[in-house]
Amino acid sequence: MKASEPPADEDGPLIARARGGDVRAFEALYRRHVGKVHGLCLRMTREHDRAEDCTQQAFINAWRAIPTFEGRSAFGSWLHRIAVNVVLAQRPRAFEPLPADDDADTEVTFDTPLEVGAIEEAIGRLPPGARDVLVLSGIYGYSHAETAAMLGIAEGTCKAQLHRARGLLRERLGLEDVG
């Protein structure tokens, strides 16, 4: 479970009711999770309208699939996987594979305080492949394995994209000369 996800036991009764077709229960789940799903979609699409479309579609897909949700992962993580699939499905797939990088496990850390807006803007200007990995791994805390599985890429590619993203961010935020 990711750091800011509602505890699974809080979702559990609502999930059980939603699996039985209770729309009200599913609405409650929507209200609990929409912020994170929309945040993920917005960061991956960088377009407000598209992010809203993807968020809607993600919850509709989740409603369709919830009878098959078995609770093996946290509900929020399951929703995120659905949202990532929706975003990727409406995007032309064009990211280039990168070689794996052994140094890519280093935590993405800024040494100097930066405005949130400046970081978000820099993330938004990253190439889609690098941005997806940075968002899922760096912001939402998924492991390389989880991120790679969500994006349908090799774990080595995931690490390489993160390394690339980190380098581009540092460059674009002018951090290369920060000691």
Partner 1 sequence: MKTPDTVRRLDELPRDIAPARDLWPSIAVRIEAEAAPARPRRRALPVWLPWSITAGLALFASGAWWMTRPGDHGVDAEYRSERNRLAAQLPAVLDTLPAEARIGASQSLDAVRDAREKVLAELKRSGDDPVLREWLADTQQQEVRVMQAIVEAGARGRVL
The Cα–Cα gap between 77 and 92 comes to 24
Q: Which of residues 89-108 bind partner 1 (CB under 8 A)?
A: 107-108
Q: Any contact of residue 13 with partner 1 (CB under 8 A)?
A: no
Q: Any contact of residue 114 with partner 1 (CB under 8 A)?
A: yes
CB neighbours of residue 82 within 10 Å: 21
Q: Any contact of residue 36 with partner 1 (CB under 8 A)?
A: yes
Of 9, 31, 99, 103, which lies in the binding site for partner 1, with binding defined by CB under 8 A?
31
Tokens representing 97 are 């594979």
Closest CA to 132 of 58, 57, 41: 41
Taking CA atoms, 109 is separated from 49, 96, 169, in Å, by 30, 25, 11
Interface with partner 1 by CB under 8 A: which range of 86-94, 125-133, 139-147, 151-159? 139-147
CB neighbours of residue 101 within 10 Å: 16
Interface with partner 1 by CB under 8 A: which range of 25-33, 86-94, 96-104, 145-153? 25-33
Contact in structure between 26 and 66 (CB atoms under 8 Å):
yes
Task: Please report, as ranges, the residues that interact with partner 1 according to CB under 8 A.
Answer: 2-4, 21, 23, 26-27, 30-31, 34-36, 38-39, 42-43, 48, 51-52, 55-56, 59-60, 63-64, 67, 107-116, 118-120, 134, 138-141
